[in-house]
Amino acid sequence: MRMVDIIEKKRNGEALTTEEIRFFVNGYTDGSIPDYQVSSLMMAIYFQDMNDRERADLTMAMVESGDQIDLSGIEGIKVDKHSTGGVGDTTTLSLAAMVAAVGVPVAKMSGRGLGHTGGTIDKLESIEGFHVEISNEQFIKQVNDIKTAVIGQSGNLTPADKKLYALRDVTGTVASIPLIASSIMSKKIAAGADAIVLDVKTGDGAFMKSLEDAQNLAHAMVQIGNSVGRKTMAIISDMSQPLGFAIGNALEVKEAIDTLKGEGPQDLMELCYTLGSQMVVLGGKASTLEEARKLLEEVVANGAALEVFKKFVVAQGGDASVVDNPDLLPQAKYTCEVPAKSSGYVEKIEADDVGVAAMLLGAGRATKESTIDLAVGLVLHKKVGDQVQEGESLVTIHANSEDVTEVMNKLYEHIVISKEKVEAPLLIKAVIK
Ligand code: URA
Ligand code: CA
């Protein structure tokens, strides 16, 4: 087989065979096919697309390029959740404990990642002593015992995706539905889940800005998952404004604890119940979404979800007293209010730029090498559609440096107040099966 024939075939709009797809994925991973040929093929795929069968083949070729996690030692149907990423997305922390409390095992592999705030692991590490460096045996045992555990990314998972993603990043070929969908799904499938619930974000703070693009990506991922034997569904949720109130690592842990107590921000609670209901049904613990939601509301109301979270923190070395006393989490030295300059209704809280404001404080990583400050961040007091009086605080800035002028200016620039009444955006925009 010759790579140049594969490139020409795709360039001409033909479908590649399973063998041809395996050939280029394996050849690129082992270094026998050079960057320039693969980047040419990526561009051909960008313009010519792939059919459903090719997308599934590409995904599985990437899955098989490295290790696959064996979760067969865990009893029950393992359901994983994946978000395409947004600002202040604290969902995983609360959702895992809620779903686990209903009896669905949540075996999570998580990363640190780049972004406005840290990843799930960074957030959890703001709890004194908490760590994710646990053995595979401990991971499996903990999920069987308390139904949830988080482990750091280990082993050689989807090396083909790592190389391809890095190449796409510098060759103008990231924004391709078949390439994004196969990239995300290969990582989820290699991580071993039986069923996958996807939270595809749309809006200013999302990777997919338009609803149409988000829907196309969601359909593509659902099709891939189902065709390779993993039950997969997606919801499309709003990311035009940050999720919940908190943006920042320790601040989001506190928000997650509030949510587990049933006292979280309305949008975050609703998203947890929506995603959680789908997970509970896929996990076989309820036959309808209504029944699943009732079970989740019950474990929040009776404290069982919070209890699972405490056990989970203790099992991974953390100090669970933060659950009853969140003031024990890292605290920033300074807080500063951002008073509204006029009265009216909040029209926009532009997620992307507000996220950048949190990053300027040190809550996120600009590069892989940056260190993050777990204590800093933002707490919103208003969401889109809320009424506001002049002088009322829109946001509290939690900072470890005294001068927050730049952050304050950024917030004023990207939180827009209108004289006219504004509708709150719809949180759940679509469900895709
Ligand atoms: N996220 C991924 O993991 N892969 C892509 O291709 C794009 C976003
Ligand atoms: Ca949040």
Cα(316) to ligand 1 centroid in Å equals 29
Q: Model confidence over 369-396: pLDDT tens digits?
A: 888 999 999 999 999 999 999 999 999 9
Cα(432) to ligand 1 centroid in Å equals 19
pLDDT score, position 110:
86
User: For the structural domain made of 79-325, what CATH number should be given?
Assistant: 3.40.1030.10
- Considering every ligand atom, which ligand is closest to the CA of 264? 2
314 burial (CB, 10 Å; 0-12 / 13-18 / 19+) is middle
Closest Cα to atom 7 of ligand 1 = 180
Q: Model confidence over 274-292: pLDDT tens digits?
A: 999 999 999 999 999 999 9
Residue whose CB lies within 8 A of the most ligand 1 atoms, among 180, 182, 188, 221, for a mutation test: 180
Query: Which amino acid makes up residue 313?
Result: V
Note if the pTM is more than 0.90: yes
- 287-301: average pLDDT: 98
Any idea which residues carry the catalytic annotation? 82, 161, 168, 183, 187
Task: Put residue 337 in one of left, alpha, beta given phi > 0 → left and psi -120 to 50 → alpha.
Answer: beta
Cα(197) to ligand 1 centroid in Å equals 16
pLDDT score, position 114:
73
Q: Model confidence over 173-207: pLDDT tens digits?
A: 999 999 999 999 999 999 999 999 999 999 999 98
At residue 368, does pLDDT exceed 90? no
Query: Which amino acid makes up residue 423?
Result: E
Cα(206) to ligand 2 centroid in Å equals 14
pLDDT score, position 113:
72
Reported ipTM: the value is 0.95
3-48 adopts what CATH topology?
A: 1.20.970
pLDDT score, position 412:
98
Assign domain 331-418 to a CATH class: alpha beta
Lowest mean pLDDT among 109-123, 246-260, 288-302, 402-416: 109-123
Nearest to 185 by CA among 155, 239, 237, 223: 223
What is the rounded CA–CA span in Å between residue 339 and residue 294? 39
118 pLDDT band, cuts 50/70/90, is confident
For residue 215, count other CB atoms closer than 10 A to its CB: 18
pLDDT score, position 367:
82
Q: Domains of the chain: which residue ranges?
A: 3-48, 79-325, 331-418
Q: What percent of the chain has pLDDT over 70?
A: 100
Cβ atoms 292, 276 nearer than 8 A: yes
* Range from 99-113, 366-380, 398-412 that averages highest in pLDDT: 398-412
Average pLDDT over the chain reads 96
pLDDT score, position 413:
98
At residue 233, does pLDDT exceed 80? yes
Q: Which residues does ligand 1 sit against, CB inside 6 Å?
A: 165, 174, 179-180, 183-184
What is the rounded CA–CA span in Å between residue 104 and residue 165? 32
Q: Model confidence over 77-94: pLDDT tens digits?
A: 999 999 998 999 999 999
At residue 366, does pLDDT exceed 90? no
Q: Model confidence over 134-177: pLDDT tens digits?
A: 999 999 999 999 999 999 887 799 999 999 999 999 999 999 99
Ligand 1 nearest-atom number relative to CA 165: 6
